[in-house]
Structure 1
Amino acid sequence: MAEIKFVSGSPLRAPLIVLHGTGGSVDDLIPIGRFLAPGSPIISIGAPLIEDGQSRYFRHLPKGGFDLADLAIQTDWLLDEMSAAAAENRVPLAAAIVIGYSNGANVAVRALMTRTVPYRTAVLFHPMSLGAITSFARPADAEVWVSHGSRDAIVSAANFTALTDDLTQAGVRTTIFTHDQDHNLNEDELKSARTWLQESGRLHL
């Protein structure tokens, strides 16, 4: 069963929902959330699955690639968990900002483009395309900040371009930050994401 942690904050600040990367834990992105949006309440939802000894939000196929059927199941689970955690902790889910890294970013951005989701703002570190999308949800007033490393051994430049093209087709306003490192987080991208959030007008209720 996935672990969920809540960090209280100002009722005048938009809550954050943070989703960690592959092999991570519910604690990983809480410090990053505090850095990006000081004072915001934080809901951290841990990945529900263990695959090859690593935590994940959805499964891979035995021969490689993404298990899109399981992704659909786990996306339903994640959206239900978001709703339940927001209600339990009395934070406005409609104003929530999703902060995701790698595997957590992947499920968040795919859901945003293909589902009716309760959030419209996201900061996504090193997300990737999970495959072709046949039907876009076209969420109203959605806006995301996304990052990519030019030396990323996991997310190729072509894959990242496919993702940002899909975001454009879905009608999601997208700000792109690139750096010349790998799949890692670095100070420059964290500062860029924080500035973007501060200027977005979406941190204050």
Structure 2
Amino acid sequence: MTDLGFTHVFRPATRPGAPTLLLLHGTGADEYDLLGLGHSLAPGAALLSPRGRVDENGAARWFRRLREGVFDVDDVVARAAELAGFVRAATAAYDLDPASVTAVGFSNGANMAAATLLLHPGLLRRAALFAAAAPLQGRPLPAADLTGVQVFLSAGAADSLTPLEQARLLAEQLRQCSAVVQMHEHPGGHGLPPEALHRARQWFAATTR
């Protein structure tokens, strides 16, 4: 589907009162990549999965980067605004509860989710972020009030693409904005190991009771 400004997939909830998962893929993936993760994290949830609109040598991304590990922060800000507009339009178009939207992102998608949390407070009430970095490099932390927002962060000690220190910095920034952050560190690299998925399922069940 290509309306609402983003190519995307929408799967309605199959369980009454289930949340909506906003699935944000990593670099080079697409709107189908995280559907299985969404089903695993929250069976019966509605799945809203857009495709990043930035093309990096044929690979879909959520925002531009100047080189590996260095983000174009002006583009991060602009793209977060675009995504926020899409989420608002999609919740209206599909008759979804805006308060139930939970972002689930991997790598570049997790970075985009983190930027959206910080730049558009009130849009997302929960987020599960895998292999995420602090997205607003070199910028002052926005005066965002994330009171009541629940965030799960999973990061690998051997991740050469997203250093563990970046995930720790993001966790601290979110806490400074009053979000409740659960940090899970694993010994692996840039991926989503079974233990991280297990911890994320436990976190999701505990925060959606």
User: Scaled by the length of structure 2, what TM-score is found?
Assistant: 0.91
CA 1:181–1:67 in structure 2 vs 1: closer, same or farther (change >3 Å)?
Answer: same
How many residues matched? Answer: 202
Structure 2 equivalent of residue 199 of structure 1? 206
CA distance in 2, matches of 1:160, 1:33: 22
CA contact (8 A) 1:79 1:117 kept: no
1:176 aligns with 2:180: no
1:49 aligns with 2:54: yes
Q: After the TM superposition, which of the residue ranges 55-64 and 3-12 deviates more from structure 2?
A: 55-64
Question: Judging changes above 3 Å, is the alpha-carbon distance between structure 1 residues 67 and 17 closer, same or farther for their aligned structure 2 residues?
Answer: same
**TM-score for both structures, normalised by structure 1:** 0.92
Aligned to 1:36: 41
Matched, 1:94 2:99: yes
Deviation for aligned residue 1:14:
1.1
Structure 1 residues 63 and 144, CA gap change in structure 2 (3 angstroms): closer
Query: In the TM superposition, what is the alpha-carbon distance from 1:64 to its structure 2 partner?
Result: 6.8
Match of 2:85 among 74, 80, 86: 80
Instruction: Give the deviation of 1:177 after TM superposition.
Output: 0.9
Structure 2: runs of 5+ lacking an equivalent: none
Q: 2:168 aligns with which of 152, 161, 174?
A: 161
> Bigger shift: 161-170 or 121-130?
161-170
Question: In the TM superposition, what whole-angstrom CA distance separates every residue of 1:2-32 from its partner, at most 9, and x where no partner exists?
Answer: 4111111134111111100111110011110
Q: 3-state SS of the aligned residue for 1:44? A: strand
Q: CA RMSD in A?
A: 1.7
- 1:136-151 residue pairs with structure 2 within 5 A? 136-151=143-158
**Post-superposition shift, 1:62?**
6.2
Measure, in 2, the Cα distance between the counterparts of 1:101 and 1:167: 17
Greater mean alpha carbon deviation, residues 104-113 or residues 154-163? 154-163
From the superposition, tell whether residues 191 and 63 of structure 1 become closer, same or farther in structure 2 (CA, over 3 Å): closer
* Letter aligned with residue 188 of structure 2: Q
- The aligned amino acid for 2:8 is I
**Ranges in structure 1 where 5+ consecutive residues have no aligned partner:** none
Between 1 and 2, higher relative CO (CA 8 Å, sep ≥ 6) is seen in: 1
- Once residues 63 and 122 of structure 1 are traced to their aligned partners in structure 2, the CA distance between those partners, rounded to angstroms, is 24
SS in 2 for 1:55: strand
**For 1:186 and 1:64, how far apart are their aligned partners in 2?**
22
In structure 1, C-alpha distance between the alignment counterparts of 2:68 and 2:113, rounded to whole Å? 24
Q: Indicate which of 2, 5, 14 corresponds to 2:9.
A: 5
Distance (whole Å) between structure 2 residues aligned to residue 123 and residue 85 of structure 1:
20
Tell me the CA shift for residue 144 of structure 1: 0.2
Structure 2 residue matching 1:191: 3-state secondary structure: helix
Aligned partner of 1:108 in structure 2 is: 113
% of aligned pairs identical?
A: 29
Report the Cα distance in structure 2 between the residues aligned to 1:117 and 1:51, rounded to whole angstroms: 30
SS state at 1:16 partner = strand
